[in-house]
Amino acid sequence: MTLSGVYVPMITPFDATGAVAHAALRTLAHEVLDGGAAGLVALGTTGEPTSLDPAEQRDVVDILAGVCRERRAPLLVGASSVAAVTALRDQPAVAAALSLVPPFVRPGETGVVAHFAALAAASPVPLVVYHVPYRTGQRLSVDTLRRLAALPGVVGVKLAVGAVDADSVELLADPPAGFAVLGGDDAVISPLLALGAHGGILASAHLATAGFVELADAWRAGDVGRARALGHRLAGLSTALFAAPNPTVVKAVLHAEGRIPTDAVRLPLLPPDDEALRVALRRLATAPGTPVGARR
């Protein structure tokens, strides 16, 4: 399998009682697919998975798997342990697991490779490595990313290193065959696509979904002028959406638009201040690709 295009790591909306808002999640998933998203991600960081209990996590996966079956779209699920990946066996809509480089313990690059070899051997679905060193504390060299790409069952990487660095340039200059490089830092997705990234996993694409899809299509088609213009405008939107910890501003904007019932997040997150919301709404008003209207 080859992953490409824009994937939206879905937020988890909450209702006025604090419970997961099932209908709103289902509607929002349809909306971003209507906007051209290639697929969805369940239980990514944007979905606040550590604040959900096991039953809530199952509900989120079931809802998004149902939408993806209906729409024939791939679903990625955040799953970073043997227990988590084996639980995906009964979900035929799941195309891959998005698996985090082990955080905090900093096992070294050889340890990371050994970890993913064991995880891939146990997993019923392919793995996408989630490389986000500013969260995990573990950097990976280009050579290590290539070793990971060579593992059976590892099909891609969500590359979120905080910048377009020399390692990213080197990897994209000669990407491993059959290995998808998906950008994970929304504000720099345009230069990553220009360098040859296959797509992105972008929380910002809850808003202006069609604009992010158009951006990926423009770089793929070699329409440099159009892609540059789109990229500059969408980077401004992404910067505003990440002005406070993700997904607080995204949720606030979705609520302001009436697309989710509340802007609630769960601790340790707190809602953004009013100024962050105002700036994000101003950026959205001029961003390409307006949100698709809610299904009725």
Cβ atoms of residues 272 and 243 within 8 Å = yes
Residue 134 a catalytic site member: no
What DSSP character marks residue 14? B
Output the CA–CA distances (angstroms, integers) from residue 11 to 65, 252, 259, 272, in the order listed: 15, 11, 12, 15
Q: Where are the alpha helices (DSSP H) in the chain?
A: 22-34, 54-71, 82-86, 109-122, 133-136, 142-149, 166-173, 189-195, 209-221, 224-241, 248-256, 274-285
Cβ atoms of residues 120 and 151 within 8 Å = yes
Cβ atoms of residues 116 and 150 within 8 Å = no
Alpha carbon distance 280, 293 (integer Å)? 19
Residue 158 a catalytic site member: yes
From the list 7, 134, 158, 251, the catalytic residue is: 158
Alpha carbon distance 52, 83 (integer Å)? 17
Alpha carbon distance 296, 286 (integer Å)? 26
- Coil, helix or strand at residue 125: coil
The residues carrying an active-site annotation are 130, 158
